[in-house]
Amino acid sequence: MRQAEQDTKEKILSAALDLFCVDGYSTVSVRDIGKAVGIKESSIYYHFKNKEDILYSLFHKSEQWTQVRKEQFIQALESVPKVERENFIAAGIAYLEGYLLEEKINKLIRMLTIEKQRNSEAAQLYRQLLFSVPLDHHKKVFSFMIDKGWMKGDDVEQLAAEYQSKVLYVFHKYFSGTFEATSEERTLAQLELSSLLGRFFSQYIGVGGH
């Protein structure tokens, strides 16, 4: 695909995501997307079969975004000699800020929050983004840490669920509205999550981690 065509395709996806996350997939038309991009409706069909094709392309993009972040984290973890409290908390903050609040992923979550009530595919992806994928990642990380002697316990599923529940609690408490969070709300969220993860660290990692 030529660069100009790829650029246009990315603009269509970006515009569609902007519209879907505010108005919902069902109420946005291909014409609306074309208008947002500044091209004719017919031009959309050169790049995508229909609106559903745009939606599934966004789903596929989300899988790519999450996979890259997981691989980067695992590589970083494998390169350290031990896990310090500050680094553990910083990783949790980075998960909140760099994944759940990352612009594209957050817009996708907001869209799925609307669409999961009427679209089974959207409901499935919502569960993947907020539960299945993160939990599998956490289990892999905690298994690695237990094997290294950095972490207490042997029930990685329970550990992963407890960790994820703390992050999602803060995420929904501060960022579940339709408006962008203020800098003050972000600061409060980081402080509360730091406190929760600090207690998690003390309970499960404190002895072996440092």
pLDDT (average), residues 37-63: 89
d(CA 28, CA 71): 34
pLDDT for 18 equals: 92
Task: Give the count of beta carbons closer than 10 Å to the beta carbon of residue 202.
Answer: 12
> What percentage of residues in the chain have a pLDDT greater than 90?
52
Classify residue 50 as exposed, middle or buried by CB count within 10 Å of its CB (0-12, 13-18, 19+).
exposed
17-26, 38-47, 201-210: least confidently modelled range? 201-210
Amino acid occupying residue 136: D
Whole-angstrom Cα distance, residue 151 to residue 201?
9
Which residues make Cβ contacts (< 8 Å) with residue 95, sequence separation at least 6? 134, 167
If phi > 0 it is left, if psi is from -120 to 50 it is alpha, else beta; for residue 38 that is: left
Per the document, the length of the chain is: 210
Please tell me the predicted confidence (pLDDT) of residue 179.
Answer: 66
Only one residue has tokens 């929760």, namely 196
pLDDT of residue 178: 61
Encode pLDDT of 86-144 as tens digits: 999 999 998 998 889 888 888 888 888 888 888 888 888 889 889 998 999 999 999 99
Residue 4 vs residue 139, higher pLDDT: 139
For residues 151 and 88, the answer to whether their CB atoms sit within 8 Å is no
Tracing tokens 């970083």 back to the chain, one arrives at: 76
Q: Give tens-digit pLDDT for 160-188.
A: 999 999 999 999 999 986 667 788 989 99
Q: Are 24 and 115 in contact (CB under 8 A)?
A: yes
Distance CA 21, CA 107 (A): 5
Q: What gap in Å lies between CA 161 and CA 171, rounded to an integer? A: 15
Strand ranges (DSSP E) for the chain?
none
Provide mean pLDDT across the span 37-44: 92
24 and 178 in contact (C-beta within 8 Å)? no
Q: Is 38 exposed, middle or buried (0-12, 13-18, 19+ CB in 10 A)?
A: exposed
pLDDT reported for residue 210: 46
